[in-house]
Amino acid sequence: MNIVFVGPQGAGKGAVIKEVVKIKPFDVIATGELFRKEIATGSALGKKLKATMDKGILVDLNTTLNVVKGALKNKKNIIFDAFPRNVEQAEAFSKISKVDKVIYLNLDKQTAYKRLTNRLTCASCNYVTSKLVVKNDVCPVCGGKLFTRTDDTREGINKRFQEFETRTLPMLEYYKAQGIVYEIDANQPLEKVVSDVLKVL
């Protein structure tokens, strides 16, 4: 079964997926991570990917599909994190595999502001926490330094919401037409979001 997770930044997609896979046996495919793994192998494809990403250019659709296709092997139940992201990718993906369900973590902009402007990220281990929880800049996991992302401002959040709406909402319409979109209220606390997601998986 292939599940696609969709949600704007601040919806807690990564955190929700992490909890879901503790309970249900899914493999997670995240393209960013796949690219990093491929680069680490030093293959020709990896070198090409590194050159593209170093330039800050988006990896082209064919290359992305090839990497995803490779990752699909020997896996039965997969959660896709942040892929496909738009109608073009969704249509291309439909030619190599099938999407059974789309989990849409719907988030209000107000909640996103509240979560993201308080967000702290660890420079060493990427742990994400909140100023509402940690009162200093020391990572509770590894002792590294916590920092605020420079784009976690109202302006930055507006920009990412707008990108999400332009790029991903049409893809949701594409999947809604197939009757496979499950909308979850992501404004709720993490545990509630996770239990709502588990109900529809």
Binding site for Zn ion (CB under 5 A): 122, 124-125, 127, 139, 141-142, 144
Q: How far is the CB of 18 from Zn ion (least distance, A)?
A: 15
Query: Are 93 and 99 a contacting pair, CB within 8 Å?
Result: yes
Query: Are 104 and 172 a contacting pair, CB within 8 Å?
Result: yes
Q: 14 burial class (0-12, 13-18, 19+ CB within 10 angstroms)?
A: middle
Retrieve residue 96's tokens: 């190599």
Q: Which is nearer to Zn ion, 51 or 141 (CB)?
A: 141
Q: Which is nearer to Zn ion, 1 or 125 (CB)?
A: 125
Q: Which is nearer to Zn ion, 40 or 125 (CB)?
A: 125
Retrieve residue 94's tokens: 């439909």
Q: How far is the CB of 143 from Zn ion (least distance, A)?
A: 7
Contacts of 52 (CB under 8 A, 6+ apart): 58, 59, 60, 63
Q: How far is the CB of 123 from Zn ion (least distance, A)?
A: 8
Q: 186 burial class (0-12, 13-18, 19+ CB within 10 angstroms)?
A: buried
Query: Are 61 and 89 a contacting pair, CB within 8 Å?
Result: yes
Q: Which helix (H) or strand (E) holds 199?
A: helix 190-200
Q: Which is nearer to Zn ion, 125 or 132 (CB)?
A: 125
Query: Are 21 and 32 a contacting pair, CB within 8 Å?
Result: no
Q: How far is the CB of 137 from Zn ion (least distance, A)?
A: 11
Q: How far is the CB of 152 from Zn ion (least distance, A)?
A: 17
Q: Which is nearer to Zn ion, 147 or 182 (CB)?
A: 147
